């Protein structure tokens, strides 16, 4: 059994029992971050803050939300928006954060792709990050069901229909998921549980894994340079703070994190108070009505690119390519055969073109996913969807030919 001495201070008392000093070093003061990074490396902290905003606002909403098909719409739009003090504020924070979190996730993802941060021992960071993306997607979708408006109902109808597997006609599976022939009480209750319990638990676990996966390989840097963290840390601790290539996570990098968070929150609260419409679709302010289909059914903006990969094809091919699009990003560390870990722009023309074209094409897919599939829009959508698939298939080929830079 460990030997305990009379504590000299509260900190000492805690240290003997929890090793708080060691913990503080491992997690904060001696968690070494390369200096050669830019503000895009703060997106992790921005995501942590946004997730915290989602959890806190979600807890307040949970106190008043009623998960029944008869009361859900009114509990949100009447009770929370009119009766509860600042209920409107929590709802707008929750709705805007749910949308903005995806913007930051996409920036975080494309930063990772651009700087090759999924290579050289960082594969698990990427994979756990993509699992987080999947979990956040499920969280966003299940949350979108809860106000039980027209978009909740019809998006729920369309997405659960995907599980019939096209020509497989697995209608029994769809009914099993819904607990009914159409989205109804069982469906709402299940998605409520998923949204407030199971998926948040999964997200928290995955965030732990994501951070854990980062601890040994350390974060990447702008040049993909391999840094001897022990040697550089020693230099720093010996007093050569300016000469060392690394810095402490806290307070050194955290001060920059907080600076970025400050700017981000100005943007975020501007959206919450003055431009929230993009995150709260007008159609969802009509109560769910199974007898009246909205003129246009579209998912929230962050799902549009994958929706557009489903849409231009016949149902079976569409579903196959949709499934492909869902999993292919996870495979990135194994599809990129290049020996280089550095900025996409410095890896030679093929990958440079691949990166910027992939980014632009996903924006085109996003736009086409929302626009009605008519005329030129369906043609553009089809070309973009085919291009997306072809580009992923081509990735191992173009990267394996890449020269070492």
Partner 1 sequence: MKNKEPLILAVVVFFTLVTYYLVEPYAHHVMHKHVDSENFAYADLPAVSKKGDATRGQELVMGAGACTGCHSINVADMPAPMDAVSAAAAYGVNPPDLSNAGVVYDAKFLNDLIKNPAHALLVEHKFDAAKGQMHPMVAFYGAGGDIDQETADMVAYLQSIAVKKEDVTSAMAFENACGRCHAVGYENWTQIGTKPKFKHEKDGLAFDIKVLDYQDTLKKYMGKLPPDLSMYIRSRNEHFISTFVENPQNHLAGTAMPRTGVTAHSMEKIIEYMKDAGDTKRHERESVGKNVMIYIVIFAIFALLWKKQVWRDLH
CB proximity list for 317: less than 8 A, separation 6 or greater: none
Longest dimension (CA), the chain: 79
Min separation Cβ 161 and partner 1, Å: 22
Shortest Å, Cβ 404 to partner 1: 22
Q: Report the alpha-carbon distance of residue 328 to residue 59 in Å, rounded.
A: 34
Binding mask 82-101 for partner 1 (x = CB under 8 A): x---x-xx--x---------
Helix or strand run (H / E) with residue 302: none
Sole window of 10-18, 325-333, 362-370, 390-398 interacting with partner 1 (rule: CB under 8 A): 362-370
**String of b and e for 345-383 (b: at least 16 CB within 10 Å)?**
eebbebbeebbeebeebbebbbbbbebeeeeebbebbbe
Nearer Cβ to partner 1 (123/252): 252
CB closer to partner 1 out of 162 and 265 = 265
Say how far apart CA 320 and CA 315 lie, in whole Å: 9
**Selected binder of partner 1 within 61, 145, 199, 304 (CB under 8 A):** 304
Q: How near is the Cβ of 24 to partner 1 at its closest, in Å?
A: 17
Distance of CA 69 to the CA centre of its chain: 29
Report the residue number, 145 or 203, with the smaller CB distance to partner 1.
145
Do the beta carbons of residue 307 and residue 88 sit within 8 Å?
Answer: no
Q: CB-hemisphere CA count at 13 Å for 267?
A: 13
Among 29, 77, 326, 378, binds partner 1 (CB under 8 A): 77
Half-sphere exposure of 91 (CA within 13 A, CB side): 22
254-273 residues in contact with partner 1 (CB under 8 A) are 255-256, 258-259, 261-263, 265-266, 269-270, 272-273
- Count of residues engaged in binding partner 1, rule: CB under 8 A: 53
Across the strands, what pairs with 287? 149
| 160: contact with partner 1 by CB under 8 A | no
Q: How far apart are CA 47 and CA 261, in angstroms?
A: 9
DSSP letter assigned to residue 403: P
- Any contact of residue 251 with partner 1 (CB under 8 A)? yes
* CB of 167 or CB of 255, closer to partner 1: 255
Q: Min. distance of Cβ 255 from partner 1 in angstroms?
A: 4
Residues in contact with partner 1 by CB under 8 A are: 35, 38-40, 77-78, 81-82, 86, 88-89, 92, 103, 107, 241-242, 247, 251-252, 255-256, 258-259, 261-263, 265-266, 269-270, 272-274, 277-278, 280, 282-287, 295-296, 301, 304, 359, 363, 366-367, 370-372
């Amino acid at each position: 059994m460990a030997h305990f001495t009379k504590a000299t201070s509260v900190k000492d008392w805690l240290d003997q029992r929890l090793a708080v000093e060691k913990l503080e070093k491992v997690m904060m003061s001696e968690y070494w971050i390369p200096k050669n990074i830019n503000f895009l490396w703060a997106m992790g902290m921005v995501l942590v803050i946004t997730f915290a905003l989602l959890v806190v606002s979600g807890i307040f909403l949970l106190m008043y939300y009623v998960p029944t098909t008869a009361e859900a719409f009114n509990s949100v739009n009447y009770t929370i928006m009119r009766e509860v003090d600042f209920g409107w504020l929590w709802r707008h924070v929750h709705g805007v954060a749910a949308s903005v979190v995806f913007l930051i996730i996409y920036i975080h993802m494309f930063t990772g792709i651009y700087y090759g941060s999924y290579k050289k021992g960082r594969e698990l960071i990427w994979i756990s990050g993509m699992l987080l993306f999947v979990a956040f997607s499920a969280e966003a979708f299940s949350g979108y069901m809860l106000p039980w408006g027209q978009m909740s109902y019809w998006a729920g109808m369309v997405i659960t229909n995907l599980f019939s597997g096209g020509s497989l006609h697995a209608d029994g599976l769809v009914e099993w998921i819904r607990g009914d022939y159409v989205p109804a009480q069982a469906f709402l209750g299940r998605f409520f549980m998923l949204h407030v319990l199971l998926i948040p638990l999964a997200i928290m676990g995955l965030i732990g894994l994501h951070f854990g996966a980062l601890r040994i390989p350390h974060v990447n840097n702008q040049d993909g340079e391999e840094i001897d963290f022990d040697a550089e840390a020693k230099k720093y601790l010996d007093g050569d703070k300016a000469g060392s290539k690394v810095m402490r996570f806290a307070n050194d990098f955290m001060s920059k994190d907080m600076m970025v968070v400050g700017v981000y929150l100005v943007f975020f609260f501007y959206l919450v108070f003055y431009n929230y419409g993009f995150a709260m679709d007008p159609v969802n302010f009509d109560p769910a009505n199974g007898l009246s289909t909205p003129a246009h059914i579209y998912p929230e903006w962050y799902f549009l690119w994958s929706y557009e990969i489903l849409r231009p094809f016949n149902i079976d091919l569409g579903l196959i390519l949709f499934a492909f699009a869902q999993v292919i990003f996870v495979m990135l560390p194994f599809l990129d055969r290049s020996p280089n870990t550095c900025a996409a722009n410095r890896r030679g023309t093929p990958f440079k073109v691949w990166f910027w074209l992939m980014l632009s094409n996903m924006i085109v897919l996003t736009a086409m996913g929302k626009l009605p599939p008519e005329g030129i829009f369906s043609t553009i959508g089809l070309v973009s969807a085919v291009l997306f698939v072809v580009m992923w298939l081509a990735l191992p080929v173009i990267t394996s030919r890449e020269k070492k830079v």
